[in-house]
Amino acid sequence: MPELPEVEAVRRGVEERLVGKILTEVRVREPRLRRPVPPLAPWIGRRLLRVERRGKYLLWRFAEGTLLVHLGMSGRLAFVAPDVPPGRHDHVDFLFEGSLLRYTDPRRFGFIAPLDADAERAMEARLGLEPWDERLTPAWARAKVRGRRRAVKEVLLFGDVVAGAGNIYACEALFLAGIHPGRPAETLDEDDWARLLAALRALFEAAIAAGGTTLRDHRTVAGEAGAYRGRLAVYGREGEPCPRCATPVRRVVQGGRSTFFCPVCQPPERTAW
């Protein structure tokens, strides 16, 4: 699933190629995404001013309004030559003055939707802070989860403390911070949060610099595979030696998702299970 670094890599690529250009044509081959693709004809002729990212959402800003693009589980945006025929999962083409940006999504959990001011306020109210937001301090995070007995890993995935972390970065950050993924969120003290937030920021920064991970269907918009996979310490490595202490990495299921961790480096005190 594309997480913050992958979405940021896409944002940069789209911004670099398309800002200042006019949307000249849209071809929708399969409108049945997680939400049906809305009529996009009104957007034709509009000039793209900026591309922003909030959590895992892309916001395409036009003078006349904003289009929200979410890549879901397996969505991808890539520039292709105008004469490349679409494949089975290539659902939408956006043409900006000769540049073809193709939306591909085998599982169709992504969506494209206009975002008006009310919807944007609702989204802001639901999302956590960006990792680099100055308001995101250990004290703020601790106060945010007060009284929540849910496991810290699940709280990270819920995304209302820090926006943008999915399964990969949640597992990796908890490992780097030495925090057991099953600990009730409310038991983390400010030192724990300081380590966890620092770990998330470091991981995101490294992954953005590397163009994202290659774990699933992610590619950068230029079609290159990300180079981050080789740097993952525990994610996807069940049974392999922990890079710190050589104890086999364990996998458990939390909230229907796999969690990978080291039982020694992430001591199981006060877990939620």
Catalytically active residues are 2-3, 56, 257
Stretch that binds Zn ion, among 93-101, 114-122, 166-174, 265-273 (CB under 5 A): 265-273
State yes or no: residue 265 binds Zn ion (CB under 5 A): yes
Closer Cβ to Zn ion, 247 or 258, answer by number: 247
HSE (side-chain half, CA atoms, 13 Å) at 69: 27
Size of the site for Zn ion (CB under 5 A): 7
Member of 10, 92, 197, 262 binding Zn ion (CB under 5 A): 262
Contact partners, residue 39, CB within 8 Å, separation at least 6: none
* Shortest spacing between CB 174 and Zn ion, in angstroms: 12
Q: Which residues pair with residue 90 across a beta bridge?
A: 104
Member of 25, 209, 245, 255 binding Zn ion (CB under 5 A): 245
Member of 17, 107, 144, 244 binding Zn ion (CB under 5 A): 244
Stretch that binds Zn ion, among 33-41, 139-147, 162-170, 255-263 (CB under 5 A): 255-263
Stretch that binds Zn ion, among 19-27, 28-36, 165-173, 242-250 (CB under 5 A): 242-250
**Do the beta carbons of residue 68 and residue 127 sit within 8 Å?**
no
**Do the beta carbons of residue 268 and residue 247 sit within 8 Å?**
no
What is d(CA 51, CA 257) in angstroms, rounded to the nearest whole number?
A: 31
State yes or no: residue 234 binds Zn ion (CB under 5 A): no
Residue 195's CB is within 10 A of a number of other CB atoms, namely: 18
* Shortest spacing between CB 244 and Zn ion, in angstroms: 4
* Shortest spacing between CB 242 and Zn ion, in angstroms: 3
* Shortest spacing between CB 270 and Zn ion, in angstroms: 19
For residue 173, give both structure tokens: 């950050």
Per-residue burial over 236-267, b = 16 or more CB atoms within 10 Å of its CB, e = otherwise: bbeeeebeeeeeebbbbebeeeebbbbeebbe
Member of 59, 73, 100, 264 binding Zn ion (CB under 5 A): 264
* Shortest spacing between CB 175 and Zn ion, in angstroms: 8
List the Cα angle 230/14/208 in 5-degree steps. Answer: 25
What is d(CA 30, CA 55) in angstroms, rounded to the nearest whole number?
A: 26
- Could you tell me where the DSSP H helices lie in 38-150? 117-126, 138-144
What is d(CA 234, CA 56) in angstroms, rounded to the nearest whole number?
A: 22
List the Cα angle 139/181/194 in 5-degree steps. Answer: 25
Q: First CA to last CA across the chain, in angstroms?
A: 26
Stretch that binds Zn ion, among 62-70, 71-79, 124-132, 262-270 (CB under 5 A): 262-270
State yes or no: residue 179 binds Zn ion (CB under 5 A): no
Member of 242, 259, 260, 261 binding Zn ion (CB under 5 A): 242
Binding residues vs Zn ion (CB under 5 A) = 242, 244-245, 247, 262, 264-265
